[in-house]
Amino acid sequence: MEFETVMEEALIQEEIEKKEILKAYRKLLRATKKHEAKGDLRLIRKAFDVALDAHKDMRRKSGEPYIYHPLAVAQIVTTEIGLGAKSIACALIHDVVEDTDITLNDIRRMFGDKVATIVDGLTKISGVSDFNVSMQAENFRKMLLTLAADVRVILIKLADRLHNMRTLESMRRDKQLKIASETLFLYAPLAHRLGLYAIKSELEDLALKYTEPEVYEDIDNKLKETQRKRQRFVNKFTLPIMESLTEQGFQFDIKGRTKSVYSIHKKMKKQGIPFEEVYDLFAIRIIIDTPLEQEKADCWKVYSIVTDHYVPSPDRLRDWISTPRANGYESLHTTVMSGSGQWVEVQIRTRRMDDIAEKGLAAHWKYKEKSGGESNVDEWLGQIRELLENPDQSALDFIDDFTMNFFADEIFVFTPRGELRKLPANATALDFAFDIHSEVGAHCIGAKVNNKLVPLSHQLKSGDQVEVLTSSKQKPKEDWLNYVVTGRSKTKIKQSLKEERRKMADDGKEIFERKFKQLKLQPDEKTIVKLQKYYKVQSSQDLFYLVAQNKVDFKEIKNFLEESEKTSWYQYFKNRISSGKKKQDDKRTEIITNFKSSGKDELLIGDNMEKLDYTLAKCCNPIPGDDVFGFITINDGIKIHRVNCPNAIQLMSNYAYRVVKAKWTSQETISFLAGIKVTGIDDMGIVNNITKVISNELHVNMRSISFDSHDGIFDGTIMVYVHDTAHLTNLIKNLKKAKGVKTVERITTV
């Protein structure tokens, strides 16, 4: 009877799931019918049938049928990014090659070369053999390599990541942290750079929700509590603007756009202020309907109307209409003083500009076809392809260069003839030289900035006019890598240094062979391998390079080779090779199990929650009660970091395989060092008030206290010993009550 009941429930659940799948598919079709031809709809139907059949026996971690995921990704692709039928089809089948028996050739036969190329780009790397290489970095690099073929790969990948983040609650806590950190480190900035601002904001918010859930909940609740008050303010603020715009005959929309939870949190951290003191919680966006040729003039007319009603801040005007951002973003931003004494950011743009701001690249190409010609986005994609052309760069170096250049703010500088050049913030005179041409950069000896002579390392500012000085005798040097920030500059310098090194190695090889002949030695392959090991170099070229630099003693080499003949080198190399073939899992297990417990019991580490030896990371100084994770270092064992450590996002994103779970157990006998920053109004007895609170707090000892006072304001740093976060929180709460104290916060580095 029970069996029959279970079977009946299973059949009912199956019917419910079928209806849900059909409902999601019809919703997808409704979203695409508006702009797709019948042939395109047939392509989508075919992709849906293939995906439904391929994933029929698969379920997600949440327990729901797997097909829900590709359907949701396809929905994001069409409604939130605005891509067409081919992209929707690719989104529906993006996991079948990796997760099922269907091959890439099957996809090519059923859907053609273009769909197969995109699906290939979307298929994840099955495995990376090198223990020291980040799988995510390799994955990310491979994904970007497909840019040269089709940028839709990245757009679909972002949709895939967005749905994974929306359904992250079904994953284990450690998996949530790794995926959220990777999202914050790579995918959110990439969405921003591609102009997908709505997706970028949601990815950041969701990442914060899982990395720092209490912070996220606190800000989210406060935003909900103040929603009605903000809406009343927006209505009152926009009323006179709306009346004037209507009088002038404009067709327009006005929206009040609230800052994302993540951007509010970022501002609170950067400025050290509470939620209540974040003045620009929202921005007013004015979107006008106007012909392409009148866009610029009409946007400035709207600016004039806004500033007729409210006084603008002169230093807060941003004109991204005359000089759009590299990702194609165009808008006019100003900050004005409202009637109630509150600063308000106003964004002015056209319908076309808003479409590009919301849907990024997809909208950019739609408008590019109408207007013709190249744009900033094409130029930016060209820069990425140039960066990807360096085959010798490691994946992690590539990610560093990529994030440094393409996620940085921009500056605008000019050539002597007045040509505008865009560079990342902090770019130097040498970066500018390489931006002009690689040969100009290679021969650069200095520059004139605004007619004043400056060195290669001089940092440029927006508005600078730069003239490059060159010499035919100049060539790139190793220390130049410290003077540049752009990927282009670094790549060209490294290529030049490598070529120079190769030439020196060729000279070194001639010297090596000549000296060996004089010593009556045979420079065979076996001997060269021995010497590589002896001098600890990776290749024969590195060995010959040392010879060219006169860093090799040939008498020493002769003695070493004669001595080595007495031992079994065959056995030595056999042992080295066999040990190098150990599986990566064995290596990881060896690293973890080699730690012997030293009697500490305040942390449980790893999937099995074992008591292992560890050290506390100095970059964030975790204490019991903090949300923490373990990181397996190469030389220093397991290091414990706070989840909100400044380095956590990069570690969990690039080295996820070296991250292990860690959890505090109850510990009241050990004290941990923590730092507190206090600010307030300088008054007689203020130090006494603060020290009295600390001394009255049970079991709190001070290690050091330092105060600085200027213009009636004091700020101090106090180092105290506490048991855990609850102990520290209680101390901070009591310090805030002390007379004269305005702010109290924990500081990370101690």
Are the CB atoms for 438 and 475 separated by under 8 Å?
Answer: no
Are the CB atoms for 568 and 528 separated by under 8 Å?
Answer: no
Q: How far does the chain reach from its first CA to its final CA, in angstroms? A: 66
Q: How many CB atoms lie within 10 A of CB 562?
A: 10
Provide the 3-class DSSP secondary structure of residue 747. Answer: strand
Locate the DSSP E strands across 13-118: none
Distance separating alpha carbons of residues 725 and 506, to the nearest angstrom: 61
Contacts of 734 (CB under 8 A, 6+ apart): 693, 696, 697
Q: Which residue has the tokens 């300088």?
A: 682
CA distances 590 to 134, 248, 582, Å, are 19, 75, 11
Distance separating alpha carbons of residues 631 and 641, to the nearest angstrom: 7
The CA angle 332-325-352, to the nearest 5 degrees, is 60
**Dihedral in degrees, nearest 10, Cα atoms 64, 68, 70, 74:** -160
Alpha-carbon torsion (315, 317, 322, 324), positive or negative: positive
Q: How many CB atoms lie within 10 A of CB 738?
A: 18
- Nearest CA to 185 out of 171, 202, 203 is that of 203
Alpha carbon 521 to its chain centroid, in Å, reads 54
Q: Strands 282-289 and 343-350: what pairing? A: parallel
Q: Which residues does the annotation mark as catalytic?
A: 98-99
Are the CB atoms for 177 and 652 separated by under 8 Å?
Answer: yes
Distance separating alpha carbons of residues 151 and 113, to the nearest angstrom: 15
| Exposed / middle / buried, residue 567 (Cβ in 10 Å: 0-12, 13-18, 19+) | exposed
What b-and-e string marks burial along 189-219, b requiring 16 or more CB atoms within 10 Å of the CB? bbbbbbbbbbbbbbbbbbbbbbbbeebbeeb
Distance separating alpha carbons of residues 388 and 145, to the nearest angstrom: 7
Distance separating alpha carbons of residues 712 and 684, to the nearest angstrom: 11
| Exposed / middle / buried, residue 74 (Cβ in 10 Å: 0-12, 13-18, 19+) | buried
Alpha carbon 582 to its chain centroid, in Å, reads 33
Alpha-carbon torsion (636, 637, 641, 646), positive or negative: positive
| Exposed / middle / buried, residue 46 (Cβ in 10 Å: 0-12, 13-18, 19+) | middle
Alpha carbon 396 to its chain centroid, in Å, reads 13
